[in-house]
Amino acid sequence: MPELDIREPRSLPLAIADAAHQPVEEVVERLGSSTDGLGSSEAARRLAELGPNAVRTHQASGWAVLGRQLRSPILILLLITAGLSLFLGDATNSIVIGVILLVSVGLGFSNEFRAERAAEALHSRVTHRAVVVRDATPQEVDVTALVPGDVVHLAIGAIIPADMRLLSAKDLLCDESILTGESMPVSKDPAPVPGAAALGDLTSCLFMGTVIQAGNCTGLVVATGGRAEFGRIALGLGERQPQTEFQLGLQRFSFLLLQVAIGLTSLIFIANLLLQRPVIESLLFSLAIAVGITPQLLPAIVSTSLATGTRQLAKRKVLVKRLVCIEDLGDMDVLVTDKTGTLTEGRISFTSALPAGPGISAGELLTLGLLATEADYVESQASPVGLNPLDAALWASAAAAAFAPARYERLDVIDFDHLRRRTSVLVSEAGAAARMVTKGSPEDVLALCGATPASVQAMLDEQFDAGSRVVAVATRAADGLTAIGPADEKDLVLAGFLIFLDRPKATARASLDRLEELGITVKIATGDNAKVAEKVCDELGVLSGGTLTGATVEAMSDAELAAAAREASIFARVSPEQKARIIRLLRQSGGSVGFMGDGVNDALALHAADIGISVDSATDVAKDAADVVLLDKDLGVLAEGVMEGRRIFANTIKYVLMGTSSNFGNMFSAATASVVLSFLPMLPGQILLNNLLYDAGQLAIPGDRVDKEQLLAPSHWDIGFIRRFMFLFGPISSLFDFATFALMLFAFDAVPGEFRAGWFIESIVTQTLIIFVIRTRRVPFFRSRPSLGLVGASLGVVALGVYLPLSPLAGVLGFDPLPVPFFLALLGMGAVYLVLVELAKLWFYARAAQQPVPLRPRAVPRRGTTHHIARRAARFSTAKAGPLLHNRGPGRRRGRIRAQRPSHPGGS
């Protein structure tokens, strides 16, 4: 197609407030566009000049990762220690610490950068697109490719991709709460806004990040990226994402370590000063103790675990928007989900038309149902693309082929919304008088008709009892009307019912069984009739705890609903607000609640849940609100994701327990020995080297096997449990350290270099081999086999730890050669140590304090404006950071917008 003749813009960009006051024609001229949109080459030129429509970047930046590594308090502590050593003339110790610093940064950088790359790959798989007119032809483009002057078509459920001036609108309502805080939707109209007006009063404009709640429209892009109102706010928040429960748990754990490190370090420093040891030597040793007690590679271990889990989940068709959300997925113990596509096949078929009386035939009733379709009749007959599932099934039926669209003229339409739950059209047949046809949920349509005869109610109940999805059709004469509104939906005459079937999914029973094995309670929230939902559950053999309807939910207080929601299994005919309220109250009951939905009416509940789950075919607003996106809408796929999340958490906690207990024990031993001995039991550089070797061996933990029982229930951060574990197994480690001290001093009469070499070897051997005992509650090796990677890494670390004091580097590291009998004694001590730890483990886990406790009501973590802005900003993301300078700042993730229809009132 030839390039459109578009005039040069008079000024670009244009402020959205100015555009709101100007007529449409003037705004189009100011932006150098037309109602047929831009040409492709002009759009490309503007994109190059103004930059992408993005406020986030998702490109993995090596420099950014390195910067985070160098800002680590642990590494800063290492730098201070190395600098002090060099300043005091201890070049050897300074070099050793410097090497450790480089290795630590290198390991942390490589693992975190791999995790960033995994996240980048995830962002690239979740796309957001908009329907834009280019070269006078509608086409889909990535939202980041929009430029001022583009003409964009939007429908209900779409998230506005840029600040836009309305060109045309039909019954348009927008949710602008993310910008204005106003919960009520705002009516929009293309007419210019007179005089000065606040942002929320610019009714002729649409704003990036807001949501179309009803109607459809065409808009002209005025501002993109950081120039849009939402973009300025998102850029002001920066790249930092709101923290998850897992991250908050890590924070609490770090605070515990900080308390222990400060206490132990202070005591050591004061004790050495009282013993009149050199101040600088005491300070360096105290700093080494502070560093040594912290698991230096915890960030790398967590990043590796999450990156490994991300790759595994991607193979299972589960995409996680943020890596840390994997942990939240594993934490879930209550799942509230819709019915269509999860318990049923999601392939809806039209089965029959049931007239309400003798005055209308089945064929005429079907024709009325086809007329009450939002999309154009000719397009609908040619292709069901863009239709809601029930309308698509209706048009795909064999009887629809006989429909003659040329006979009918549609004069007006009231689009479907989730409050009215119906669609109405004003139509004229072959020039005859106009009439209105309404199609929607039976309850809502019957309420607009006269008294329902008992025979009609019996017919409806029979279909509901059979598990059919039913849509009611009603009509009335509309002489003299040329347009209709919701107020005209009255005095209708019921024509009959359209019957649809959505069969239960063959794999649903097995998927529900898997979720039950994982300790997850599944509840159904549907817009469908209660009897239909109960019929599906009955056919799948699901024992129901009861059903609550939307009307019942509305009449209950929060306390009453919280109690009822814990027991109920089905929530039927519930509104979006009621779904969100149910989720909130379930969370207050103590559970970690996940919500799975794919419709416009699911967005509120997705935002309210601990973990929001959607599917790749979901509506715009649902995918945006979700934390996890399933490529296949299957509860079995979700179960795989939950198991992976729990496996990652279990492996992370393994490292935390092993690292803190071993490090605490070793540092306690070092602190005690520094007071008793006339020399330092281990030099600062040797302490740090020991800790680094141990941590490096545990980098294989993310790929370790996890015992089945650890996957059967969600695990949570329990700082009290970690503290108890540390204070039991740490002192056991110290007992064998003290035995080694006695062996070196009294049996071998060791000099400082020999003493340090002996304790270094004993320490690295015992704390590395204990991994195999602590990693499982079972008997190690016999009933719980570690991964080959963990075995190889651990044995490699032990071998290196034994070799270093015997190697040519021994002198540089401050070690002296050891007698052969020491190694024989080490074998015996190591065996006794492992047996004692196994016995202590059995006793520890048998105590009541370590048993699972009942869930307690908890305060609901706030998910405020910042959280929602950060999640919504993620869709406006590019992998190229450079061009964002045009838009005043950086950005983060790419996604996909598609103009889609909502699910029909028959339910979900």
Catalytic residues: 338
> d(Cα 121, Cα 84) in Å, to the nearest integer?
43
> d(Cα 418, Cα 908) in Å, to the nearest integer?
12
What secondary structure, in 3-state letters, does 395-451 show?
A: HHCHHHHHCCHHHEEEEEEECCCCCCCEEEEEEEECCCCCEEEEEECHHHHHCCECC
CA nearest 612: which of 649, 578, 646, 587?
587
Alpha helices in 182-292 (DSSP H): 229-237, 245-274, 279-292
CA nearest 299: which of 363, 251, 242, 331?
251
Which residues sit opposite 169 in a β-bridge? 217
Dig out the tokens for 385 from the structure.
């693309």
Concatenate the DSSP letters of all residues of 449-512 into one string. BSPPPHHHHHHHHHHHHTT-EEEEEEEEE-TT-S---GGG--SBEEEEEEEEE-PBPTTHHHHH
> d(Cα 821, Cα 321) in Å, to the nearest integer?
56
Helix, strand, or coil here: 665? helix
Dig out the tokens for 773 from the structure.
């005992």
Under 8 Å between Cβ of 452 and 446: yes
Dig out the tokens for 113 from the structure.
């950068």
Q: Which residues contact 485 (CB under 8 A, 6 or more apart)?
A: 414
> d(Cα 192, Cα 502) in Å, to the nearest integer?
46
> d(Cα 299, Cα 191) in Å, to the nearest integer?
55
Dig out the tokens for 583 from the structure.
């989720």
Alpha helices in 51-183 (DSSP H): 62-70, 73-87, 91-125, 177-180
> d(Cα 163, Cα 171) in Å, to the nearest integer?
19
Phi/psi of residue 145, each to 5°? -95, 0
Q: How far is CA 186 from CA 161, 168, 180, 216, 601, in A?
A: 17, 16, 11, 14, 17
628-630: strand order across its sheet: 318-320, 628-630, 611-615, 593-596, 334-337, 521-526, 570-572, 547-549
Length of the chain: 908
Concatenate the DSSP letters of all residues of 288-318 into one string. HHHHHTS-TTHHHHHHHHHHHHHHHHHHTTE
Q: How far is CA 154 from CA 313, 875, 903, in A?
A: 33, 16, 17
Dig out the tokens for 908 from the structure.
């979900």
- Going by their DSSP bridges, the two strands 435-440 and 318-320 should be labelled as unpaired
Under 8 Å between Cβ of 72 and 299: yes
| Total Cβ atoms within 10 A of residue 260 | 22
Phi/psi of residue 711, each to 5°? -100, -5
Please, what is the angle between helix 635-676 and helix 719-742, to 10°?
40
Q: How far is CA 162 from CA 15, 53, 166, 211, 814, in A?
A: 12, 8, 12, 11, 64
Under 8 Å between Cβ of 168 and 153: no
Q: Which residues contact 259 (CB under 8 A, 6 or more apart)?
A: none
